[in-house]
Structure 1
């Protein structure tokens, strides 16, 4: 509109308008008409009511906590489709017969009786095992006692033998022979090649001389006389008991006749 006013101020010149001026006037008029049209439209559509007060907008802030970034999920491999299982036909429902209380009670009594028998059998086995162990213990004690008695008897026998040997050795020492001469070999036995043994038993008197010699056991007749003669010639150291010389009976000597 101001431009139109400035354009209208040029009409005061007395000179004739040029074609350019005419074009400017036409443009100004067209512009003025357009402005008037727009103004009329605005006035027609202008609201008659009082405009509402502008609403005050409030800016609201909210603190939001962001979750940590999710870890990448492994790639899910789709499973091959599974064929559906065939639907089994429903089996007919069989009604289970209820047990008879009397039969159940009888079974319980039988089970209790069986347990009682098992316990009795176990007690009997334990009793037999204890008896066996007791019997074995008694037998072992008897065996040990018998072994001790046997050892004691052997020891006593060995002691008695040792004592007898000591007595015999002491007795033999008390009448040890002082002189013994071998008998002469009979010539007839030598000629015939006869050999043998001859045992002579006799008594040694307190003086150590041989008395009453006799042949004991088997002896060849050719060896009897020389054996008795040789025994008579023996001399012994007499046995001394309580400081006195005593005689010793049953002294034996065996003569061996061998041809070399």
Structure 2
């Protein structure tokens, strides 16, 4: 039999070996992790907790002894320092010439102070005299102004009085006749007053007489008639006669 006629099995390829090596490595890693977990897992059963008992005991202590006063030893006497006796030095006698010069300077200073005081007093008196003179002059001026104002007021009052007197004289009545007493009023014993208002013309006559206020009817006619008969001095302004309105006259009717 020839060797060429035998059929031998074929060997696996290289990829098969690689897969087998990877599987072995994986199994080894898993086994290592499992062994580490089993090694760290606690296998001992936990011990039962122990119960502790606290025991107390009362102990009485003796009272503390009072503190003993501390004895301080007396301080040693310190001798007082002996002050050295200073030698008595006799003051030098002043020079008579220097003393005389000092006295003269002091007298001169006092004299200057007195002169300055006298000058200040004189200036004060001068200021007081000037102020007094100014006050007197101001008082005289005020008095003169007051007198001038009083004179002006007096002159104005006199002028007003003269003007009022002249105005009152301008329509003073020249002739006024009393009205006739009505016979009917006499028979009935009636008395009363009657006021009449009218206008005085530039000629001094009465115009438009009218009864003003309360007046008994029996006294109206004689009052108006008497007013018409009045004559007045005409009022003159700037040399010209003018009329005067609102002149009033009251007639009194009385039985005697």
Q: Name the TM-score, length of structure 1 as normaliser.
A: 0.42
Q: Rg: which structure is higher? A: 1
